[in-house]
Amino acid sequence: MYDFNYHRATSLESAAEIYSQSEDPVYLAGGMTLIPTLKQRLARPTDVIDLGGVDGLSDVEQSAETLSIGSMTTHAAVAANSAVSSVIPALSALAGGIGDPHVRNKGTLGGSVANNDPAADYPAALVGLDATVVTTQREIPAEEFFVGMFETSLVEGELISHVRFSIPDRAAYMKFANPASRYAIVGVMVAKFPGQIRVAVTGAGPAVFRSGEMEQALASEFSPGAIDGVTVAPDELNSDIHAGQEYRANLVRVMAARAVEICG
């Protein structure tokens, strides 16, 4: 690990000010990605700005149609929150299945979203639940936020403060997890809103994506059998030692069908 200057911000404004005055700064949320990266000397920031001391970033607020969760809320806190489990139990279950207890108790919603690992679970939740990413500068629809592998629409110095999820009538998330890391080899969030079905897929491709064909089929008949004949083109899917493109393509349909079954 290289030397760097450590700062503990007390507000979003102070964090942004430190960032603007630093040569090559980086924000620290839960540190589940950043700390290993620093230890392996894959990054060499001049300044690390810790967001752990910023108030108001771990709150959960419910309205009639949305659920807003602060960016520094840990996965374990999302999973345990009574409001989350009451109005979007699929989101609570998703958060409870991330990584291991250490990761769930240190990793944060905002950190995971900003990192945009192609195998992370939250991107499927954001896109599937028609979420909005609230930053220090603007509000970004989830479908416009995730751009590509480890790439988002955040600009230099921009910070996520909250994620605002739309509350569905029904929703479920199913994933085929890597047995070691618990990352999603394929994960699918299915959400049913009045007049709309959303199917969001993570792990399969370079970034989260929606399956329009599955959404159309489920809009006609919301049952697992409705997507039996739907195929997913494997050409642009990921391939690695854990699963090839064809296998991932099949898993998308299987996980989607299981999610629909859970929705009932």
DSSP track, 33-44: THHHHHHTTS--
pLDDT of residue 235: 95
pTM of the model as a whole: 0.96
Euclidean distance between CA atoms 89 and 131, whole angstroms: 15
Q: Which overall architecture, per CATH, does domain 5-50 show?
A: 2-Layer Sandwich (3.30)
Q: Which overall architecture, per CATH, does domain 60-166 show?
A: 2-Layer Sandwich (3.30)
**Alpha helix (H) residue ranges in 40-190:** 75-80, 82-87, 89-96, 101-106, 109-115, 122-128, 142-145
Residue labelled with tokens 């059998």: 225
SS3 content of the chain, % helix, strand, coil (to 5): 35, 25, 40
Could you tell me the two tokens for 37? 């990266």
| CA distances from residue 217 to 13, 114, 130, 210, 248 in whole angstroms, order as listed | 47, 32, 19, 13, 20
Whether 138 contacts 162, CB under 8 Å: no
Domain extents in the chain: 5-50, 60-166, 170-263
**Going by C-beta distance under 8 Å and a sequence separation of 6 or more, which residues neighbour residue 205?**
118, 236, 237, 238
Q: Do domains 5-50 and 170-263 have the same CATH topology?
A: no
pLDDT of residue 264: 78
pLDDT in tens, the chain (264 residues): 889 999 999 999 999 999 999 999 999 999 999 999 999 999 999 999 999 999 999 999 999 999 999 999 999 999 999 999 999 999 999 999 999 999 999 999 999 999 999 999 999 999 999 999 999 999 999 999 999 999 999 999 999 999 999 999 999 999 999 999 999 999 999 999 999 999 999 999 999 999 999 999 999 999 999 999 899 999 999 999 999 999 999 999 999 999 999 997
Q: What is the DSSP letter of 237?
A: S
pLDDT of residue 42: 93
pLDDT of residue 173: 98
- For 214, counting Cβ atoms within 10 Å of its Cβ (0-12 exposed, 13-18 middle, 19+ buried), the class is buried
Query: CATH fold of 170-263, please?
Result: Enolase-like; domain 1 (3.30.390)
